[in-house]
Amino acid sequence: MQGFFVWVGLLVSGGAQAAAVPSGTFRAAEARDQARRVAHTAIDEAIDSMNFLARPFARKRLRKATEPCGRIRFAQDGEAVLFQCDDKREVVAPLDGRPVRWKNDSGDEVTLRHQLDGQRLVQVFETENGARENAFVFTPEGDAVRMDVTIRSERLPRPIKFSRWYRR
C-alpha cells in the first residue's frame, strides 16, 4: 500500500490563465499540534465505519499523509506553478490542468495537476489508490491563503475534509 496517499498537486481550472498565483512564503496560522488534531478528527470520522482490523492501518497511513506544513511556498513561472511544503520536494506543474508525473518524498510516482480559477488554485495528486485535492483560496490582498484538503479513495467510506490557514 506504499503511496496510498501523497501530497496533493495543484489543479487549476482552464480559462483563467491571466490570473496570477501570489508568490512567496506563507506560514501556518495555527500551531502544528492544533492542525494535527483537526486532521486526525477528520480522519477518525471518515474511517469510523471501517472494519476494526483495517481501521488502525488506514489511520496510520492517513495521519502520515496529512502531516501539516509549517510553511508553504508558491512561485509562478509563466504557465507553471511551483509549490513547496516546508523542506519537502518542490512540486511543479502547468496551470492548464495537464497532468504531469511526479515523485513524492517516499519515491512513489503520482499524477499531479494544477489549475487556477480566479483566487483559487487547485492541486491534485492521484495514485491508483486515491486522490488528494488541495484547494488554495487566496485572499484578495494575497496576504493569506486557506488550504481546503479533500482525500478520496474507494477504500474510504467517505471523503476526508479539513482546512488550514496560512499567512505571510
Q: What is the pLDDT of residues 3-56, one digit of tens each?
A: 333 333 333 333 434 468 999 999 999 999 999 999 999 999 999 999 999 999
pLDDT tens for 63-75 read: 999 999 999 999 9
Q: What is the DSSP string of 79-96?
A: TEEEEEETTSPPEEEETB
Q: What is the C-alpha to C-alpha distance for residues 148 and 44, in angstroms, rounded to an integer?
A: 18
10-167, what's its fold?
Answer: Lipocalin (2.40.128)
- Every domain of the chain and the residues it spans: 10-167
